[in-house]
């Protein structure tokens, strides 16, 4: 019963620390370039996709923190299954699950399409998004091939 609470607490702490790193990322474009290089060396994806993963870091922070909140609320709801406290905790758990899915969708939107641009770091708002960049590169390769 306490394992979910510990895991949820770890996710919340990790989300808060990631939030601190995101603030530093937003203030320093050179840090973003280093993170893109690090992602490119670890993940076998295109540089534009790795740039999108860095661009979506604010949504990732929200998702990690919300996942921790979901786990902690789930443990609390199971401990208090009867009465109004259990129902309120269940409602909070459902709300946090919906928020988690919204953060996942936002993360994918920022990574793939750079939308909404307002949630991307200021120095990355002019990026195309990995899907649009891939299509543009593919069209250029087709024109060059004949």
- For residues 120 and 54, give the distance between their C-alpha atoms in angstroms, rounded to a whole number: 9
Q: Per-residue pLDDT for 1 more than 60?
A: no
Distance CA 10, CA 137 (A): 41
Asked if 59 and 110 count as a contact pair (C-beta separation under 8 A), the reply is yes
CB count in 10 Å sphere of residue 98:
12
pLDDT > 90: percent of the chain = 73
pLDDT tens for residues 57-101?
999 999 999 999 999 888 887 777 666 677 788 888 899 999 999
Task: Please list, in sequence order, all residues whose beta carbon lies within 8 angstroms of the beta carbon of residue 40, skipping any fewer than 6 positions away.
Answer: 47, 50
pLDDT at residue 120 is higher than 60: yes
Average confidence (pLDDT) over 29-43: 93
* The predicted structure's pLDDT at residue 82: 63
d(CA 137, CA 50) in angstroms, rounded, equals 16
- Percentage of the residues of the chain whose pLDDT score is greater than 70: 97
If one compares 27 and 76, the residue with the highest pLDDT of the two is 27
| Tokens 């490119």 belong to residue | 40
Which pTM was predicted? 0.87
């Amino acid at each position: 019963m306490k394992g979910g609470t510990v895991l949820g607490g770890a996710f919340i702490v990790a989300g808060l620390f990631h939030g601190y790193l995101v603030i530093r990322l937003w203030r320093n474009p050179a840090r973003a370039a280093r993170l893109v290089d690090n992602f490119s060396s670890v993940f076998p994806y295109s540089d534009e996709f790795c740039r999108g993963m860095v661009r979506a870091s604010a949504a990732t922070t929200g998702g990690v923190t919300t996942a921790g909140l979901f786990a902690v609320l789930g443990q609390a709801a199971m401990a208090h299954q009867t009465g109004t406290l259990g129902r309120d905790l269940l409602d909070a758990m459902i709300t946090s699950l919906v928020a988690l899915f919204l953060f996942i969708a936002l993360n994918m939107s920022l990574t793939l399409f750079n939308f909404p641009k307002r949630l991307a770091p200021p120095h990355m708002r002019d990026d195309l998004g990995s899907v649009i960049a891939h299509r543009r590169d593919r069209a250029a390769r087709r024109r060059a091939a004949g």
